[in-house]
Amino acid sequence: MSWGKKILFITLDGIADRPAPTLGGKTPLEVAKTPNLDALATRGINGRLHSLSLGIPMSTDVAHFLLFGYPIEERPGRSVFEATGYGVPFSADEVICATSFALVAPESHTLKIINRRELGLTAQEGKQLVEAVSYYKYKEFEFNVVYTKKHFGVLKIAGDVSDRITDSDPFYTNLPVIAVQPLDDSPQATKTAEALNEYLRWTYTMLNKLSPKVNILLTKWPARHRPVMPFAEKYGMHGLSISPKEIVNGLATYLGMDALNAEKLCSSEGRILEASLNCAIEKFQTEDYDFVHVHDLRPDVISHKKDPKAKAALIEKIDDEIKILLSHLKEDWVVAVTADHATPSTVGVGKAMHAGEPVPITIVGTHVLVDEVKKFSERATVQGGLGQIYGKDLMNILMNYADRLGNFGFRPRAVAQDTASYRPKTVKPLPPP
């Protein structure tokens, strides 16, 4: 008895865009020559996808959490995924923040951000500076910073802590460092904000003595561990995620999937998507994976450089790498190609990061009702048979096409499940009398 088809889920990070004047009012995806993506669209059912709600710009971690079918209320927070992806151990009692160094200047009783991105730090310098501010104690609170890469790190706060506090990083230059504020009236949030502000001021004092390149540590995305239903228990599938981005691998690991760093699979030629797809194909053929997610970060990275023509050229390279998939498609596979969010290439870093427009999606499989769409792009897929779907819909749609769902209301397992139940391979047997 077949227990369902395998699912290959590909996210091309930030590939969706806005019309660019330099491209005649078209998007990079529209002007790029993409015969292989178009071939998938021609063989599939198409539509538009937003992970949460139309118009809301999404970050990579939130979008993927939703696309994997988890409700936003269960999301622990980006810093937890980041710490997990970098292998930083933490306890459920600690609050986790992502950190980054910045250069600031005093101005009218504020600390104005001068530089927070291209700081020119070597890895060795970054490690040494993190070490200099790695431990601090204020009242009952303890602060520990762990270096990750470049000028980034992970801060662990222990004590009677709350994650209901604001960021201190304003994300843009020429703005002041934000005073951390409580988000509720609890004593824990108030005291945590007070303690973190003291720690940030201390890092400013310490770093001013050590480096002309940076002089403060900024914090963002305070979060703490929250229990979630493991992916295998939620869907009855053995899952794998292949990504070059630590936060995506951390998210997958947090959900109980296996994770592989795509950069370690890639040859010196830099064909990272091709290498990831090769790996996915091999895993389907040689191991017991039912679900493989492949993530390509490059479209998002180039979008922030404010060069639509360069993005279109990269999309053509990505399309050439996806060609390998067309020659390996199997009847017992369901393949979905989409983006996690739109990233405008007409607006560079410092003006906008992501955008709230929906992104194109195509799904290929033996059960899909193939529509008339012939091109994978933002405009063309509007006419597709899927229409407008949302993150909460996607896993059920894919599992339905993969013949992995039972009828709504079936209860073969002792778990709370508000959606249709997956068809179990095994159940708890009733022993005979």
- In SS3 terms, 111-167 reads as EEEEECCCCCCCHHHHHHHHHHCCEEEECCEEEEEEEEECCEEEEEEECCCCCCECC
Q: What is the pLDDT of residue 353?
A: 84
Three-state secondary-structure class, residue 419: coil
Q: How confident is the model at residue 115 (pLDDT cuts 50, 70, 90)?
A: confident
What's the rounded mean pLDDT across residues 10-24?
A: 97
Which tokens hold the place of 374?
């012939």
pLDDT tens digit string along 84-95?
999 999 999 999
CA distances, 86 to each of 81, 345, 424 (Å): 9, 29, 33
Closest by Cα among 64, 44, 51, 58 to 389: 51
- Coil, strand or helix: which one is 403? coil
Helix (H) or strand (E) holding 80, with range, is helix 78-85
Evaluated on CA atoms 241, 242, 248, 250, the torsion sign reads positive
Across 345-350, average pLDDT? 74
Lowest mean pLDDT among 119-123, 207-211, 310-314: 119-123
Using a 10 angstrom Cβ sphere, with 0-12 exposed, 13-18 middle and 19 or more buried, the burial of residue 150 is middle
Cα separation, 57 vs 53, in Å, equals 9
- Distance in angstroms (rounded) separating the CA atoms of residues 225 and 74: 10
**pLDDT at residue 1 in the model:** 40
Domains of the chain by range and CATH? 6-73+228-401 (3.40.720.10), 84-223 (no CATH)
Angle between helices 60-67 and 391-401 (to 10 degrees): 40
Q: What is the pLDDT of residues 267-295, one digit of tens each?
A: 656 899 999 999 999 999 988 999 999 99
pLDDT at 351: 61
The pLDDT of residue 385 is above 80: yes
Residue 230 banded pLDDT, cuts 50, 70, 90: very high
Q: What pLDDT digit, counting tens, does each position of 249-272 carry?
A: 999 999 999 999 998 887 656 899
Looking at 154-163, 329-338, 340-349, 361-370, which range is the least confident one?
340-349
- pLDDT reported for residue 12: 99
What whole-number distance in Å separates Cα of residue 308 and Cα of residue 73?
Answer: 35
Residue 5 has pLDDT above 90, yes or no: yes
The pLDDT of residue 348: 65
Residue 393 token pair = 């819909």
pLDDT in tens, 27-63: 999 999 999 999 999 999 999 999 999 999 999 999 9
Q: What is the pLDDT of residue 418?
A: 55
Give the integer Cα–Cα distance in Å for 43 and 334: 12
> CA–CA distance from 252 to each of 233, 327, 343, 426 (Å)?
14, 28, 22, 24
Looking at residue 117, its pLDDT comes to 82
Distance CA 296, CA 244 (A): 7
Per-residue pLDDT at 156 exceeds 70: yes
